[in-house]
Structure 1
């Protein structure tokens, strides 16, 4: 993994974490579709 790939992955994870903390009362489920990859986050 290159340095830029790792930085990009960390930026995406930090963005999703901040988004979920800000909207946690309104957010029950988050789905991200990119090509053949699906990321699903469900807050209990």
Structure 2
């Protein structure tokens, strides 16, 4: 469990860094793949 806690904190830190870099772009790039079938 100790390792899981450390990994979770590291993941949150990376997510925050990505958000600063432009995580929104990554989200938009992934949304089209899921919405693709719906838009079609």
TM-score w.r.t. length of structure 2: 0.51
Alignment size in residue pairs? 28
Higher relative contact order (CA 8 A, sep 6+): 1
- Larger strand share, 1 or 2: 1
Q: Which runs of 5+ in 2 are unaligned?
A: 31-40
- Larger helix share, 1 or 2: 2
Q: Which residue of 2 aligns with 1:12?
A: 11
Cα root mean square deviation, aligned: 2.0
Q: Which runs of 5+ in 1 are unaligned?
A: 32-44
Larger-Rg structure: 2
Moved over 4 A (4+): none
Write the distance in 2 (CA, Å) between the matches of 1:19 and 1:3.
25
